[in-house]
Amino acid sequence: MTQKTSPPHAPATLTVKGRDIRMRTLGIVLLTAVSIWFIAVNTETVTIRLWIPLVTLPLWAVLAVTLLAGLALGVFLTRRRSTR
């Protein structure tokens, strides 16, 4: 008897100007663009308590550091998960 096997599942893609773009890549690009826009719009100064000291910084700097920390953590966790 032969076993029926399903064909390998390919990731979802979208064709733009003759090139296949993965939906995940499109989502990441869109989320990054919205994040950069959000950072650029918020330019006022804020005061943040870092455990003990109070620090006054522009809000865009705080948001940019938070975005970079989140990206670094996401890359770290993704690479760690893929090596298992």
Residue 65's region, left for phi above 0, alpha for psi from -120 to 50, else beta, is alpha
Residue 17's region, left for phi above 0, alpha for psi from -120 to 50, else beta, is left
Token pair recorded at residue 28: 């990441």
What's residue 7's pLDDT?
A: 61
pLDDT mean by block of 10 residues, the chain; 84 residues? 64 76 84 91 92 92 91 86 66
Q: Minimal CA–CA distance to 62: which of 39, 84, 30, 37?
A: 39
Place of tokens 């998960």: 81
